[in-house]
Amino acid sequence: QFFPNSDRTELTVEVNLPPGSAFAATDRSVKNIEKAILAEPEVKVVTSYIGQGAPRFILPLNPELPNPAFAQIVVLTKGSSARDALKIKLRRIIAQGAFPEARVRVKQYVFGPPVPFPVLFRVMGPDINELRRIAGAARAIMAENPNLRDVHLDWGERTPSQRLALDQDRLRLLGLTPKESGLQLQAILNGAPTTQMRDGIRSVDVVVRGPGSERHGLENIANVSLTSIDGRSIPLSQIGHFESRMEDPLLKRYNREPCIAVQGDVVDGVQPPDVTAQILPKLAKLKAALPAGYRMETGGSVEESMKADTALGLLFPPMILLMLIFIMLQVRSFATMFMVFATAPLGLVGAVPTLLICHQPFGFNAILGLIGLAGIIMRNTLILVDQIRHDQAAGLSDYDAIVESTVRRARPVVLTAVAAMLAFIPLTFSSFWGSMAYVLIGGVGVGTVLTLLFLPALYAIWFKVKQPDAVTEEGALT
């Protein structure tokens, strides 16, 4: 989980009816869902947006394009515990088939960039039918994973449709063109704006369309009359015939290329990267057999995580260079500089077990915590190295300087580490900063102890410092 769930008390319920559904059908479905939501004691306020998404009142909320078959319900609960309880209840009700006419999805807001679905694979290629076949195979593989639910294609299921096949020769004899026929038919079925009228300060289009008797039912549409250029009425059945076929109700593109997204939600308690890692080996055989011109990409939370990792990766080289420069300005020795830098990973020894024990995800904030932890560990190392050099300048032997400096600096270093750990405890209750706080608490605690034990030995090995007795014995043997 690259970014944690938000601590806001709202839930979002997305309602998707089959593409092409009327606004009235969406409204009826939303009213049924609202009734089920309002029956729960955890609910405080329910707000529905039919035909569009909610306004972007928080940054991670993606705006939705106007769509009569879509609705979004924002549910304000009485608190975080009420939000979690309501989320479980609604998902259980939906899984039992309470609203079969729509695909209903209950979401909790997250920090960080929004993604349509946490687990998502994009299939791209030129031919729509081949895309359908490949995406269907991918969906079957994903549906076998017990950690995924509601696996589907973003194009939806194919629906039966009627296509008018025009007789071009007869059209020419009647003085019509396919474009003129299409415009007239569109005006009769859907309507065409003819003028505007004023309504206060607004201009309202006046739309003219055919009567309901002509627009409802295929048998009535076949008898619709078009007008030729000389004013004659021509029944639609005389210029063509209807063909039944299955068509995609929605076509989407990604970077101007036809693209189907195979997507799904993860069950509670499972992280999207783990589920994606489980599915990728099973998709490898399908990817290897893709025809030329087709490809499959990983999207969802993993893609956003990779984007953020790439952005951080570009900053790491200059950051490390600046760290080395500042360390060099402090110690003025290449050997000492590299020794100090070598202690930076010591914090991992405490940070990783702390995340595992406390069941915290290794996400973006945890990475930030590791970067800060490396600085804290190197600061402690610099303090000890500076004290060792100060004692050496005061006349102590190298060995005695290492021992005395470690003993002398142990108390302030430990007290500083304990103070830092206590200061991070309040952050552990934060949904956003919690993982970073756990990294710093565990890393500072264990890293400080390891620094006091590891650095003296490393310094002695690095600069070949030996005990005085050992040196005397070597001299006697010589």
**Domain locations in the chain as residue ranges:** 1-114, 159-247, 333-474
Model's pTM, two decimal places?
Answer: 0.75
170-188 tens-digit pLDDT: 888 777 788 888 888 888 8
- Greater model confidence, 120 or 160: 120
pLDDT of residue 432: 80
Pick the CATH number of 159-247 from 3.30.70.3450, 3.40.50.720, 3.90.550.10, 3.30.2090.10: 3.30.2090.10
Please provide residue 280's backbone torsions phi and psi, each rounded to the nearest 5 degrees. Answer: -55, -45
Rounded to whole angstroms, what are the CA distances from 52 to 69, 136, 182, 186, 191?
9, 28, 29, 24, 22
pLDDT of residue 343: 86
Rounded to whole angstroms, what are the CA distances from 154 to 50, 55, 83, 85?
20, 22, 28, 29
Tally of CB atoms within 10 A around 465: 18
pLDDT of residue 368: 86
Tally of CB atoms within 10 A around 401: 21
Tally of CB atoms within 10 A around 267: 12
Is the distance from CB of 60 to CB of 12 less than 8 angstroms?
no
405-438 tens-digit pLDDT: 888 888 888 898 899 899 999 988 887 888 889 9
Superfamily of domain 333-474: Multidrug efflux transporter AcrB transmembrane domain (1.20.1640.10)
pLDDT of residue 385: 87
Is the distance from CB of 91 to CB of 37 less than 8 angstroms?
no
Mean pLDDT score across all residues of the chain:
86
64-68, 221-225, 439-443: segment of lowest average pLDDT: 221-225
224-260 tens-digit pLDDT: 778 777 777 888 777 877 778 888 888 889 988 999 9
What's the pLDDT band for 471 if we cut at 50, 70, 90? very low
pLDDT of residue 475: 46
B/e letters for 204-239, b = 16+ CB within 10 Å, e = fewer, are: eeeeeebeeebeeeeeebeebebebeeeeebebeeb
Is the distance from CB of 459 to CB of 383 less than 8 angstroms?
no
What's the CA gap between 353 and 427, in Å, rounded?
18
Is the distance from CB of 226 to CB of 176 less than 8 angstroms?
yes
Tally of CB atoms within 10 A around 406: 19
The separation between the first and the last C-alpha atoms of the chain, rounded to the nearest angstrom, is 63
What's the CA gap between 288 and 296, in Å, rounded?
10
- Res. 55: pLDDT tops 60: yes
pLDDT of residue 31: 94
Is the distance from CB of 87 to CB of 108 less than 8 angstroms?
yes
193-208 tens-digit pLDDT: 888 888 888 888 888 8
- Res. 461: pLDDT tops 60: yes
Helix (H, G, I), strand (E, B) or coil at 131: helix
- Res. 477: pLDDT tops 50: no
Report the percent of the chain where pLDDT is more than 90. 28
- Res. 71: pLDDT tops 90: yes
Kindly indicate whether the domain formed by 1-114 is annotated with CATH number 1.10.357.10. no
What's the CA gap between 433 and 369, in Å, rounded?
9
